Structure 1
Amino acid sequence: MRVGYHTITWGGVVGDPVGVTSVKDLYYRVNGPMDRAIAEIASLGYEGIEMFDGNVADFAGRPQELVSLLESAGVQLVGVYTGGNFIYDEILPEELSRVTRAAELASRFGASSLVVGGGARRASGTRGEDYKRLAAALDKVNDIAQAHGLEACYHPHLSTIVESPEELDLLMPITRIGFCPDTAHLAAGGGNPAELIRRYPDRVRHVHLKDARLSPLEFLPLGAGEVDFVAVLDALVETGYDGWLIVELDSYDGDPREAAAQSKTYLDRLLATIGPAVTHPTNGDAP
């Protein structure tokens, strides 16, 4: 296992306004400087980064700029995060077009994972067939990812139709896509992250390590919230997971580098107890 960090807190996540009238262009985006994010993440000793599809798309016309930023920092692009409603037949081709674009760019810049969230909650309430629609769409996403040499994984997320363990259990048996457990979202949805990792050991393709206080919900650096990361890491080692651990913080009011450093210090202490299953290099600039 290797450790990376998501660029989300360097500006906070937004959606493209053009998506209100053009679904195919509705990318996620961090509204902040990616050059600073990449450099600061690398300075703390993280080996990789994850970015949103919109931020990677910003470099589509100037690819060497992103390549140079990654090479200069000494980190690699690990994953690209995208998403969609995935339950509405009429707009699904538009959403899959955007997913395909994200996969093309992820592959071009050397990523290994396509991380996908989604499954809209209808204003009128979730219908039973919505899980079948979501599963079928995710199978198409999985095929798109494989065609571009990527591993696709589904990220359960608050505000979607897959928040709780019961909802996850409705989806996973009817789709082929991998599983990206996000520790904070699973806990906030009423689940035990370690138990859910053990429930789907052969489906875990990518991991988001995230902490939170659950009531009222507040996302926090690792070690500052309620998630039991000792249990999570034990479950990952027990199931033989050997992929990336991506530390993430959905929102943060303070300095994003300080939050990333706090998480790195906490995680390094835990990883030191595991041994060779996890690589956790340090950096002279890290606190």
Structure 2
Amino acid sequence: MTLTSPKPVQPASNLPRIPVALSSSSVYPLSVHDTFAVAHDLGYDGVEVMVTGSQISRNPETLKDLIERYRMPVLAIHAPTLLLTQQVWGKAWTKIELSAAMAAEVGASVVVAHPPFRWQTGYAGNFAEGVRHIAEQYGVTIAVENMYPWRVRGREAKAYLPHWNPLPEPYEHVTWDFSHAAIAGMDSYEEIRRLGTRLSHVHLTDGTPNGKDEHLLPGEGTQRCAEALQYLSETGYTGTVAIEVSTRKAKEPGEREEMLRQTLEFARVNLNQVVDE
């Protein structure tokens, strides 16, 4: 499929324009610096920084320098609450608080956090109340991300407390990830409708119900990505849509950038932000 470069415009209605951000995970194994450069070159509205072992991802002063250099705001901070980032920023609550503090310092309005793992019993016991308190303290939104069931030898293993699905939990704000929904056998379009105003952040990607967190380009999996974005554009969604796709298989020069350009265009078209030339 050949796509032309997107031309962003205000939606036809008087609803606010939904910003589209590039997650630093989408350029992996390239750097956070590369995320800013690619987002600037392709015309994204901002970036989402995933906090990892990378020093740049944990340094607000460096991030502010990149914001100024590329005229590219940080719209979200992803807290280091993944299994792969267990050693980053120490204890569970420290991860959340430092992420919120950095978000406030660099001007990001949202912190993305995963639900607690089952072995984090003390942290999990007052998680909803704790994130609410930290969010109020730093003046940011902490949006808990939907995850998916883990399976061992074909049987579900309880990995998260109280659950991988944030919908029935008392979280004020939720991040919705299409790839995670695919693994869980959920329909993102329907779940986003159920979330209503609790939906504060979106990870745009795709996936299939094969048990792998694929983070495909939207349209390559089974999720109703286009319909979900169209619904957001029509209902006054005030959060950010962050592109979180895997480009690790890119090998040819410019291949990664083309994947991210196509995904940006997919978002712009379905958010009603593109006009015909």
State the alpha-carbon separation in 2 of the partners of residues 53 and 210 from structure 1. 19
Match of 1:266 in 2: 266
When the two structures are superposed, what TM-score results if normalisation uses the length of structure 2?
A: 0.74
Number of equivalent positions: 238
Residue matched to 2:180: 185
CA RMSD for the aligned pairs? 3.2
CA distance in structure 1 between the partners assigned to 2:226 and 2:58 by the alignment: 39
Match of 2:106 in 1: 109
The offset of 1:61, in angstroms, is 5.8
* Cα separation, 1, equivalents of 2:195 and 2:59: 39
Matching residue of 1:134 = 124
Which segments of 5 or more consecutive residues in structure 2 lack a partner in the other structure?
Answer: 1-17, 83-89, 151-158
Q: Judge which range, 37-46 or 255-264, deviates more.
A: 255-264
Match of 2:186, SS?
A: coil
1:207 aligns with 2:202: yes
Query: Which secondary structure does the structure 1 equivalent of 2:27 belong to?
Result: coil
Residues 248 and 98 of structure 1, relative CA distance in 2, 3 Å threshold: same
Alignment of 1:221-232 (within 5 A): 221-232=217-228
> What is the match of residue 50 of structure 1?
48
What is the match of residue 79 of structure 1?
76
1:116-195 mapped onto 2 (5 Å cutoff): 116-121=113-118, 134=124, 136-158=126-148, 159=150, 160-161=159-160, 168=165, 171-195=166-190
Residue number among 238, 254, 275 corresponding to 1:242 in the alignment: 238
Give the letter for the 1:268 counterpart: R
Give how far 1:188 is off: 1.8
Seen in structure 2, the aligned counterparts of structure 1 residues 155 and 59 have a Cα distance that, compared at 3 Å, is closer
Offset of residue 228 of structure 1: 1.3
Using the alignment, how far apart are the partners of 2:99 and 2:270 within structure 1?
Answer: 33
Q: What CA deviation, in whole Å up to 9, does each residue of 1:224-276 have, x standing for no partner?
A: 222212221233245431221111114631143232112112223323xx3xx
Note closer, same or farther for the CA distance 1:101–1:235 as it changes in structure 2 (3 Å cut). Answer: same
Question: What SS does the corresponding residue of 2:114 show, helix, strand or coil?
Answer: strand
Pick which of 48-57 and 137-146 moved more. Answer: 48-57
How many Å separate the matches in 2 of 1:173 and 1:37?
A: 34
Mark the runs of 5 or more structure 1 residues left unpaired by the alignment: 13-31, 86-92, 123-129, 282-287
Rounded Cα–Cα distance in structure 1 between residues aligned with 2:144 and 2:274: 26
TM-score, normalization by structure 1: 0.71
Closer, same or farther: CA 53–61 of 1 in aligned 2, 3 Å? closer
**Matching of residues 265-284 of structure 1 within 5 Å:** 265-271=265-271, 274=272, 279=273
Q: For 2:139 and 2:131, how far apart are their aligned partners in 1?
A: 12
Is the partner of 2:26 in helix, strand or coil? Answer: coil
Shift of 1:43: 0.8
Cα shift readout 1:116-138 (whole Å, capped 9, x = no counterpart):
0133256xxxxxxx7x9736213
User: C-alpha distance in 1, partners of 2:60/2:262?
Assistant: 33
Task: Write the distance in 1 (CA, Å) between the matches of 2:100 and 2:23.
Answer: 17
The Cα shift of 1:189 comes to 0.7
